[in-house]
Chains A and B, each alone.
Chain A
Amino acid sequence: MDKTRRDFLKIAGLSALGLGAKPAADAFAQSAQGPKIAPIPEALKAKRWAMVVNLKKFKESGPDALQACVDACHTIHNVPKFDNPKDEVKWIWTESLAHALPNEEHHFLEEFVKEQMKGLPILVLCNHCDNPPCVRVCPTQATFRRLDGVVMMDYHRCIGCRYCMAGCPFGARSLNWRDPRPFIKTKLNREYPTRTRGVVEKCNFCDERLAKGLKPACVEACKNKEIIFGDLEDPKSEVRELLRANFAVRRKPQLGTQPQVYYIV
Chain B
Amino acid sequence: MFENALRGSKGYWAWIILLLLVLGAGFANYLRQWVFGLGITGMSRDVSWGLYIGQFTFLVGVAASAVMLVLPYYLHDYKVFGKITILGEFVAIAAVTMCLSFIIVDLGRPDRAFNVLLYPSPNSVLFWDMIVLNGYLFLNLLVGWTVLGCEQRGAPPPKWIKPFIYLSIPWAISIHTVTAFLYAGLPGRGFWLTAIMAPRFLGSAFASGPSLLILLSFLLRRTTTFDPGREAIQALAKIVTYAMVVSCFFVACELFTVYYSQVPEHVSHFTYLFSGLHGKSGMVPLWWGVIIMGLLATILLIIPQTRNSDTILPIACALAFASLWIEKGIQLVVVGFIPNPMETVTQYAPTLPEMSITLGVWALGALILTLLYKVAVAVREQEPAGMSH
One digit per residue, 1 when the CB lies within 8 angstroms of any chain A CB and 0 when it does not, for chain B 307-318 equals: 000000000000
Per DSSP, chain A at the interface is: loop
One digit per residue, 1 when the CB lies within 8 angstroms of any chain B CB and 0 when it does not, for chain A 150-171 equals: 0000000111111101111111
Residues of A near B49 (CB, < 8 A) are 162, 166
Residue of B37, B122, B343, B344 touching A197 (CB-CB under 8 A): B37
Q: Which of A135-152 contact B (CB under 8 A)?
A: 136-142
- When the two chains form their complex, are residues B336 and A166 in contact, meaning their CB atoms are under 8 A apart? yes
- When the two chains form their complex, are residues A157 and B112 in contact, meaning their CB atoms are under 8 A apart? yes
Q: A136-B123, A162-B108, A169-B187 are in contact. List 18 more A-B contacts (CB 8 A).
A: A27-B122, A86-B39, A133-B186, A137-B185, A139-B116, A141-B119, A158-B109, A159-B113, A160-B108, A162-B48, A166-B49, A166-B183, A166-B336, A169-B341, A171-B45, A176-B37, A177-B39, A177-B45
Q: 6 A-B contacts, Cβ less than 8 Å apart?
A: A159-B116, A163-B126, A176-B108, A177-B37, A198-B109, A257-B187
Interface stretch (choices A1-9, A95-103, A222-230): A95-103
Residue of A23, A160, A169 touching B118 (CB-CB under 8 A): A23
Residues of B near A158 (CB, < 8 A) are 108-109, 112
CA gap between A228 and B187 in the complex, in Å: 28
Nearest opposing residue in chain A for B130, CB measure: A139
B127 to chain A, nearest CB (A): 5
Binding site for B on A (CB under 8 A): 23-24, 27, 85-90, 95, 98-100, 102, 105, 133, 136-142, 157-163, 165-171, 174-179, 196-200, 252, 255-257
Does B266 belong to the interface (CB within 8 Å)? no
- When the two chains form their complex, are residues A102 and B121 in contact, meaning their CB atoms are under 8 A apart? no
Binding site for A on B (CB under 8 A): 36-40, 42-46, 48-49, 103, 106-110, 112-113, 115-127, 130, 182-183, 185-189, 264, 336-337, 340-344, 346
CA gap between A23 and B281 in the complex, in Å: 48
Residue of A99, A175, A257 touching B342 (CB-CB under 8 A): A99
Residue of B36, B130, B336 touching A178 (CB-CB under 8 A): B36
- When the two chains form their complex, are residues A139 and B46 in contact, meaning their CB atoms are under 8 A apart? no
Nearest opposing residue in chain A for B125, CB measure: A137
A196 to chain B, nearest CB (A): 8
Given contacts A170-B188, A170-B341, A178-B37, whether A86 and B122 have CB atoms under 8 Å apart is no
Residues of A near B189 (CB, < 8 A) are 166, 169
Nearest opposing residue in chain B for A254, CB measure: B187
- When the two chains form their complex, are residues A99 and B344 in contact, meaning their CB atoms are under 8 A apart? yes
Residues of A near B103 (CB, < 8 A) are 161
Shortest beta-carbon contacts, A-B, top 10: A160-B108, A169-B188, A198-B108, A177-B39, A197-B37, A178-B39, A139-B126, A171-B341, A178-B37, A99-B342
CA gap between A255 and B189 in the complex, in Å: 10
- When the two chains form their complex, are residues A175 and B48 in contact, meaning their CB atoms are under 8 A apart? yes
B43 to chain A, nearest CB (A): 7
CA gap between A87 and B336 in the complex, in Å: 19
Residue of A160, A174, A199, A255 touching B45 (CB-CB under 8 A): A174
Nearest opposing residue in chain A for B120, CB measure: A27
Per DSSP, chain B at the interface is: loop
Residues of A near B340 (CB, < 8 A) are 171
Residue of A161, A176, A199 touching B126 (CB-CB under 8 A): A161
A258 to chain B, nearest CB (A): 11
B352 to chain A, nearest CB (A): 15
- When the two chains form their complex, are residues B108 and A161 in contact, meaning their CB atoms are under 8 A apart? yes
CA gap between A110 and B40 in the complex, in Å: 38
- When the two chains form their complex, are residues B106 and A161 in contact, meaning their CB atoms are under 8 A apart? yes
Given contacts A167-B186, A178-B39, A199-B108, whether A99 and B115 have CB atoms under 8 Å apart is no
- When the two chains form their complex, are residues A141 and B112 in contact, meaning their CB atoms are under 8 A apart? no
CA gap between A53 and B112 in the complex, in Å: 38
Q: Most A CB atoms within 10 A — which of B48, B182, B183?
A: B48
CA gap between A23 and B308 in the complex, in Å: 55
Nearest opposing residue in chain B for A82, CB measure: B39
- When the two chains form their complex, are residues A198 and B38 in contact, meaning their CB atoms are under 8 A apart? yes
Residues of B near A165 (CB, < 8 A) are 45, 48
- When the two chains form their complex, are residues B343 and A175 in contact, meaning their CB atoms are under 8 A apart? no
CA gap between A174 and B341 in the complex, in Å: 13
- When the two chains form their complex, are residues B342 and A255 in contact, meaning their CB atoms are under 8 A apart? no
Residues of A near B45 (CB, < 8 A) are 85-90, 165, 171, 174-175, 177
CA gap between A141 and B188 in the complex, in Å: 20
- When the two chains form their complex, are residues A139 and B121 in contact, meaning their CB atoms are under 8 A apart? yes
Residues of A near B112 (CB, < 8 A) are 140, 157-160
CA gap between A176 and B118 in the complex, in Å: 23
B55 to chain A, nearest CB (A): 15
CA gap between A89 and B48 in the complex, in Å: 12
B134 to chain A, nearest CB (A): 14
Residues of A near B118 (CB, < 8 A) are 23, 140
Residues of B near A140 (CB, < 8 A) are 112, 115-116, 118-119, 121
B125 to chain A, nearest CB (A): 7
Given contacts A23-B118, A198-B37, A198-B38, whether A139 and B124 have CB atoms under 8 Å apart is yes
CA gap between A200 and B108 in the complex, in Å: 9
- When the two chains form their complex, are residues B46 and A171 in contact, meaning their CB atoms are under 8 A apart? yes
A59 to chain B, nearest CB (A): 21
Residues of B near A174 (CB, < 8 A) are 45
Residues of A near B122 (CB, < 8 A) are 27
Residue of A141, A159, A179 touching B37 (CB-CB under 8 A): A179
Residues of B near A162 (CB, < 8 A) are 48-49, 106, 108
CA gap between A90 and B45 in the complex, in Å: 10
Nearest opposing residue in chain B for A138, CB measure: B124
Residues of B near A27 (CB, < 8 A) are 119-122
Residues of A near B120 (CB, < 8 A) are 23-24, 27
- When the two chains form their complex, are residues B37 and A163 in contact, meaning their CB atoms are under 8 A apart? no
